[in-house]
Structure 1
Amino acid sequence: MSKSSGKKMDKAALDAQIQQFCTITSASVRDAKRFLEKYKRVEIAVDAYYNEPAQAQQASIPQPSTSKLNALFDKYKDPDSDEIAIDGTIKLCEDLKVDPEDVVLLSVAYQLKSPKMGEWSRKGWVDGWKELSCDTITAMSSTLVRLRDKLGSDSEYFAQVYNYTFDFSRPPGQRSLALDMAQGFWGLLIPHGLQGGALSHLARGAGSDDEDEEDDAMMGVDEEGWKEEYTQWWFEYLTEKGGKGVSKDTWQMFLEFVRTIDAKFEKFDEEGAWPSTIDDFVAYARERLASGR
């Protein structure tokens, strides 16, 4: 093989890496070359790019095009209004190659400030995708991969998306979320957070206070927490109870409960300010554990 042939092959490989890097990050070709020359491998270069100080990174990222984002919005919006509705959302999901029931769409709803489930405003669409540095379907599709991972692994981000889910999915004028809808969202969010680590167990010693917080954490290093099967127990309990809706207080406190309760439900603080629904569920769960059901 000639030297010139080898150089052509090297250039072709580099061009492919640059294209892959730009697709994932929406960065400029210049920045792609800079990181690839330094880190050689695409995955390492991408990690380094996202770990670069935000100010420097922002300066190097080309700003998304407002006109491109408006054109995309017009492609999906309802012909009779200036919003993307259910039909447009389904078409968008087809183009992004994502299931309409994928948990990552809850993250997208949070980022784009979706006014309600399956709908998107022009302002939220343009501002949200700009913040995510996207103005093409290809870039959006790559961003979904990052958002899905962040939702599963970042506890703070998970909580933000989790709490927003209640607000954007609640029917206008109603204070609670229908039970079947709440269970559907829990069924998406809780397993994803458990598997990715966003809902990793926070051990707490029984009767602990702030002065003993560090000791309690040490005591519970190997403590088991919420199990996936307990989510189904929660659903069965709510169904047996016969309630029709889930209040915002119960929705928000359930997240803390999942993160802090031990696997045997032994360290539950009976005097804590938990909603009565969670108090009663603990008794229900303890009974199931005792009976082996």
Structure 2
Amino acid sequence: MGNCFSCFKVPPPPDPSTNSPMEKDKEGNSSTTQNLCAELQPSQEVHCPPLTAVETQVNGNSKGTGVMVVGSDNCGSLHRDKTPRTFYSRIPPLGRSTSSGGDGKGREPSEAKLNAMFEQYRDCNEDAMLADGIESLCADLSVSPDEFKVLVLAWRLSAEQMCRFSRAEFVSGCRAMRVDSVKGIQARLPELVVEVTRDPELFKDLYRFTFRFGLDAESGQRILPSDMAICLWRLVFSVREPPILSRWLFFLETHPQVRGIPRDTWNMFLNFSEAVGDDLSSYDDTEAWPSLFDDFVEFENDQMNQNISKDKDEIIKQDCN
């Protein structure tokens, strides 16, 4: 295409002692066009058709509406333009982030924002969110404090104990979730719920976390009280309840002598619920199950035998009548 930069050559400035042909008469479009093309002759690749209208000429660049001009972006090419084109208009603006910062997922979470958000809910006497602050946070998140989403949030924050989020737990947990605002947490929670319910390994991690989360860490508690264990079993299984759960909880509620649930019993119940199904027919008492599971199966068998006896008595009474 020859020397590309030739399309940027401009004609020499007009002699001030003489009037420009364009100043004399704008009607002489044809002659003006021929003069202009003659001055651009070194390019040899620029073909200038007759111009329909030329208003002004500044530094060799023509301006006007509906004018055929030599484009500065495609050397020697002709195009129709209503406004002058410049190289600088093609450069994208600098210093702007292309990510949507509404939920913080497209950028690194702001430490300042995380600390400012924590301060909104921090207890006035302790550098931590306590029951009231967590309740306010849940209200802003449009969730209930006893909802499964809040348990998932505590799990992702690696909270050491219930009703308490320390600053370090909150800031590091939100940074790991890549959020730095209430709206960001609110948008992330449903995604976390889907992830934990679809991935058995993630759910197992959440399930084991729940036992530790329910303990009173300040008193060094190692066994979960039965009433607390019942509440937490209902909560952690609220999105994927095993068939045996309701009968298991009924057994615990009707046997007050069972005062606490050790960690091993809690952890093994997940395997137990998957192994026995919904009718306990596959339960093997020779396996190394906790003794409490043996008691539960015996209780269930007794209940079943009692129901069978009642059904027989009802049948006999109906026959006698």
TM-score, normalising length: structure 1: 0.66
Mapping 1:1-293, distance limit 5 Å: 22=100, 26-27=104-105, 61-172=106-217, 173-194=220-241, 226-227=242-243, 230-242=244-256, 243-292=258-307
Unaligned regions of 5+ residues in structure 2, if any?
A: 1-98, 309-321
Does the aligned pair in 2 maintain the 1:153–1:193 contact within 8 Å?
A: no
Counterparts of 2:263 and 2:107 in 1: how far apart (Å)? Answer: 40
Query: 1:151–1:92: structure 2 CA closer, same or farther, 3 Å change rule?
Result: same
Counterparts of 2:248 and 2:140 in 1: how far apart (Å)? Answer: 36
Does the aligned pair in 2 maintain the 1:95–1:137 contact within 8 Å?
A: yes
Counterparts of 2:110 and 2:234 in 1: how far apart (Å)? Answer: 36
Larger RCO of the pair (alpha carbons < 8 Å, separation 6+):
1
Measured after TM superposition, the shift of residue 290 of structure 1 is: 4.5
Counterparts of 1:123 and 1:93 in 2: how far apart (Å)? Answer: 19
Measured after TM superposition, the shift of residue 292 of structure 1 is: 4.3
Does the aligned pair in 1 maintain the 2:131–2:163 contact within 8 Å?
A: yes
Q: Highest Rg: 1 or 2?
A: 2
Q: Larger helix proportion, structure 1 or 2?
A: 1
Counterparts of 1:288 and 1:23 in 2: how far apart (Å)? Answer: 58
Measured after TM superposition, the shift of residue 153 of structure 1 is: 2.6
Counterparts of 2:101 and 2:140 in 1: how far apart (Å)? Answer: 16
**Does the residue aligned with 1:282 lie in a helix, a strand or coil?**
helix
Query: 1:22–1:152: structure 2 CA closer, same or farther, 3 Å change rule?
Result: farther
Instruction: Note the alpha carbon deviations across 1:121-166, whole angstroms, 9 max, x for none.
Output: 1111111111111001111001111122223332111111111111
Counterparts of 2:272 and 2:120 in 1: how far apart (Å)? Answer: 43
Measured after TM superposition, the shift of residue 66 of structure 1 is: 0.9
Counterparts of 1:112 and 1:271 in 2: how far apart (Å)? Answer: 40
Instruction: Note the alpha carbon deviations across 1:14-55, whole angstroms, 9 max, x for none.
Output: xxxxxxx9588644xxxxxxxxxxxxxxxxxxxxxxxxxxxx
**Does the residue aligned with 1:99 lie in a helix, a strand or coil?**
coil
Does the aligned pair in 1 maintain the 2:115–2:171 contact within 8 Å?
A: yes
Q: Give the letter for the 1:121 counterpart.
A: S
Counterparts of 1:246 and 1:97 in 2: how far apart (Å)? Answer: 32
Q: Give the letter for the 1:277 counterpart.
A: L
Counterparts of 2:267 and 2:102 in 1: how far apart (Å)? Answer: 33
The 10-residue stretch of structure 1 (282-291 or 96-105) with the greater mean CA deviation from structure 2? 282-291
Counterparts of 1:24 and 1:256 in 2: how far apart (Å)? Answer: 41
Does the aligned pair in 1 maintain the 2:214–2:232 contact within 8 Å?
A: no
Counterparts of 1:65 and 1:141 in 2: how far apart (Å)? Answer: 17
Counterparts of 1:240 and 1:117 in 2: how far apart (Å)? Answer: 26
Counterparts of 1:128 and 1:191 in 2: how far apart (Å)? Answer: 23
Q: Give the letter for the 1:134 counterpart.
A: V
Q: Give the letter for the 1:152 counterpart.
A: T
Counterparts of 1:174 and 1:232 in 2: how far apart (Å)? Answer: 26
Counterparts of 2:269 and 2:102 in 1: how far apart (Å)? Answer: 35
Q: Percent identity?
A: 31
Q: Give the letter for the 1:280 counterpart.
A: D
**Does the residue aligned with 2:237 lie in a helix, a strand or coil?**
helix
Measured after TM superposition, the shift of residue 113 of structure 1 is: 1.3
